[in-house]
Amino acid sequence: MRLLFCCEFYHPSVGGVQEVMRQVAERLIKRGHEVTVATTGLPNRTALVHNGVRIEEFAVAGNLVSGLEGEVERYQRFVANFGADAVLVKAAQQWTFDALWPTLPTLTSRKVFIPCGFSGLYDQNFAAYYEQMRDLLPLLDHFIFYSEDYRDIAFVRQAGMRNLSLVPNGACEQEFMNQEPRSDLRERLGIDANAFVFLSVGSLTSIKGHTETAEAFARMDTGGAASTLILNANRPRSPAAQPPGRRQLAGQLGRHLVRTLRDEGLWATVQRVRAKLEGRGASDVEGQIRHWTQVAASQPGKQILLTDLPRDELVDAYKTADLFVFASNIEYSPLVLYEAAAAGTPFLSVPVGNAEEIARRTGAGLICPAPVDARGFTRVVPADLAEAMRRAMEDRERLREMGRRGREAWRTHFTWQRISEQYEEILCGPVAAQNT
């Protein structure tokens, strides 16, 4: 089959959307299909074919709320004339989906959509957007959801759609098939051989919960036991394919402010603007982490390591850790929880996205209660997270059993090979609606 995947970012960009689309695309290539990805142009992309997947770049940015800019018409013509047997679009509120709205009525390809959580559903700025989407949904042939009970699937059901499937996320069988780390990561990172290792993974932004996790670790009573928190946080990279002009730059800054207001609220936006004016830039999160690093270091046996490990070393970190900790503010279906399970490492997560569902499906997770605000953001109290981390650390036998169950569940249900087969079935033709 001739398949077209549409997503805002793709390899070498790092993120959950990128990883899901890459893993599925590359496995479908191996199964004899032709896959092309339409995505944002990136300055650090050195080739337009990666592991057999063709990449078509577009200089487009924004969404229907903040405004679409760039090669919108070129993208629309490309999709309309591509001749795909099926088009798979991942995530609302971004240009590769929003720019297709006028094109969908005449697009003859099978159209499959992954809503990816509808993060702006409770945001008044997106109220009109989601009202219009109700009329758009019947134009789509099939929907893929990661969670059986989340805001996106509830919205689509309420709109009367029944052509939907549940397909989970997962972790790579090549990376996690061997449970033992390939290298002595503890020695290279300066971690005591007997230390209890906590790990958290996510981009270096204020919504990924790094500061809350660092504060919780610094406040946690370990009884003097050696313990290390690895915060692995990759820096977000600018997606601009070429240097923007003044008008384009102004548009990008405006969209950035709108996004920050939407995702982090007024106070965080004011703090970010102030940090920029003071020359601190994105270092504000790092500054908070450094503060809690110093607090932790003043206690016997404690240390916090802020890292950005290469992928192979990060996989080693998953396998080395005793407990994965996740305190993100907003998610849909976090890949990192499946990766922890694949490594045989239990996880402690706040109830963000469908983390509770993943904990139940894998048997590998504990959930730390945390309030969710009116916009759907999870805001854990660091003292509560500290207590949950302490209790988990004290019951190592339970953690080992959870890790064993999680790894077995992953091998049976949540490898990308198994998941790609489900995508193939959906993309290749009519699939009976599932009673999800």
363 inside domain: yes
pTM for the predicted model, two decimal places: 0.85
Asked if residue 229 and residue 312 are part of one domain, the reply reads: yes
Phi, psi dihedrals of residue 198, rounded to the nearest 5°: -95, 145
Mean pLDDT for the stretch of residues 75-97: 98
For residue 279, pLDDT over 60 is answered with: no
CATH code at position 152: 3.40.50.2000
Domain presence at residue 297: yes
What is the per-residue pLDDT across 14-29, written as a single tens digit (0 to 9) for each? 889 999 999 999 999 9
- Reply yes or no on whether the pLDDT at 179 is more than 50: yes
Give yes or no: residues 12 and 108 share one domain.
yes
Same domain, 205 and 337: yes
- 207 and 325 fall within a common domain: yes
Q: What is the pLDDT of residues 405-415, one digit of tens each?
A: 999 999 999 99
Asked if residue 110 and residue 7 are part of one domain, the reply reads: yes
Q: What is the pLDDT of residue 266?
A: 46
Tell me how far CA of residue 64 lies from CA of 76, 126, 128, 193, 246, in angstroms: 14, 9, 10, 52, 21
Contact 113, 143 (CB under 8 A): yes
For the CA atoms of 170, 335, 127, 99, the dihedral, rounded to the nearest 10 degrees, stands at -70
Tell me: do 294 and 224 sit in the same domain.
yes
Residues 224 and 344 in one domain: yes
- Residue 265 included in any domain: no
Q: What is the pLDDT of residue 269?
A: 52
Structure tokens at 44: 């650090």
Residue 231 lies in a domain: yes
Overall domain count for the chain: 2
Cis peptide before 244 (omega within 30 of 0): no
pLDDT at 344 over 90: yes
Q: Give whole-number Cα distances, 373 to 27, 123, 290, 343, in Å.
A: 39, 12, 27, 32
For residue 241, being part of any structural domain is answered with: no
Q: Are residues 421 and 290 in the same domain?
A: no
Domain range holding 354? 173-236+282-413
State the chain's mean pLDDT as an integer: 90
Residue 375: what pLDDT? Answer: 81
Model pLDDT for residues 372-397, shown as the tens digit of each residue: 988 889 999 999 999 999 999 999 99
**Residue, of 257 and 417, whose pLDDT is higher:** 417
Determine, yes or no, domain membership for 342: yes
